[in-house]
Amino acid sequence: MRDVAIIGVSQTKFGELWDISFRDMIVEAGMGSLKDANIEGKDLEAMYVGNMSAGLFVQQEHISSLIADHTGLVPIPCARVEAACASGGLALRNGIIAVASGYHDFVIAAGVEKMTDVVDPTPAIATASDQEWEAQQGVTFPSLYAMIAQRHMYEYGTTREQLAMFSVVNHKNGAKNPLAQFPFEVTVEQVLKSSTVADPLTLLDCSPISDGAAAIVLCPADMAKKYTDTPVYVKASTQASGTIALHDRKNLTTIDATVNAARNAYDMAGVGPKDIDAVEVHDCFSINGILAIEDLGFVEKGKGGVAVEEGMTELDGDLPVNPSGGLKSRGHPLGATGIAQAVEMVWQLRGEAGKRQIAGTEIGMTHNIGGTGGTAAVHILSV
């Protein structure tokens, strides 16, 4: 297997993008990544695109052909990758495997979702849960994560204020990100007093409905410096599965797919949690951010809320979490999220993250999950 490098990245602004279409977003991100990589479309050999549900959100299937067509990349192979909210992370993993195997040299891994073109996106999002046992019984993702939050609070004494603090840190970081959907700060009091969505979660505990796209250019590591002075190297790319439904799990407060993907990633990269300088975690809800830092091995199970309260996850803390603003502040266009996480980590490793730059970042991690943890993708990147 060959070592793999990232030589180009790009991301659109995330938000309610009324003036840009699904196809235009992916073109913007794709062309931006090619420019950043100093290559042309004719140099590419394949494309992998993460997308959860264009069929339900914009009534468009066969997006692999659509994207190859409108990016001007016909006839190269383009494949759509779907794993709910982890679609982007798995598209990146597929691209990495294609290059590592020697099958292709230059590959784009991208992600795109346009969620605001439907009146109510909830039914489309709910397809990522177990239809028979969850969605068709009226259970939504906020209520599933609310059950997890209640159990975590019961078992470990996690407080409502600690959940809110995770959102506060995200927004503090997102306020420094010009591409974020919500680039402004919030207070604990504002989180607590925002509208209840599913007790104990309020509106400001929940990631938004978002449009956006992101793209990454990959190539063999030994070719990378021909195209960029600042290549970023893929040290690990792992995927693990978990049960799709909560009722099949032994423990509601642990995402087993995250634990297993992280363990394999550390082994592959030859590092441990203490070696990670910054991490982008999948905080679709504030409780999932707390679960993530526990399940990735950064803190003991049950101590995530305390770690956030003590400032561990701040940009100047022992483990900066979500310098981009995370899903809560940067936004969460489902298929694009896993790619956007990696784009942010590349900017951090290059020293190009502006006001949110974490000094001395040499090893970064991204964590992308689908649904309530039925799929997890973990990547470790380094300079």
Q: How many residues does the chain have?
A: 383
> Tokens 């959100």 label which residue?
57
What is the separation, in whole angstroms, between the first and last Cα of the chain? 19
302 with 146: CB under 8 angstroms? no
Q: What are phi and psi of 245, to 5 degrees?
A: -105, 145
Alpha helices, H only, 199-279: 256-269
- Give the span between the Cα atoms of 270 and 348, in whole angstroms: 21
Measured in whole angstroms, the distance separating CA 194 from the mean position of its chain's CA atoms is 25
**Residues 354, 212, 19, 61, Cα dihedral to 10°:** 160
Q: Which residue reads 């906020």 in tokens?
A: 142
The residue annotated as part of the active site, out of 104, 171, 282, 332, is 332
How far apart are alpha carbons 43 and 69 in whole angstroms? 16
Tokens of 37: 């990589």
Q: Is 332 considered catalytic here?
A: yes
Q: CB neighbours (10 Å) of residue 25?
A: 24
CA–CA separation, 378 and 376 (whole Å) = 7
Give CA–CA dist 91/269, Å, rounded.
20
Q: Give alpha helix (H) positions in 220-285.
A: 256-269
The one-letter amino acid code at 192 reads: L
Which amino acid makes up residue 308?
A: V
State the Cα–Cα distance between residues 373 and 301, nearest whole angstrom: 17
Q: Three-state DSSP class for 356?
A: helix
DSSP designation for 258: H
Q: Which of 78, 85, 206, 284 is catalytic?
A: 85
In this structure, what token pair is assigned to residue 376? 């997890």
DSSP character at residue 179 = T
Per DSSP, 332 falls in state: -
Tokens representing 169 are: 């840190």
Look up residue 333 and give its DSSP letter: -
| Catalytic residue ranges | 85, 332
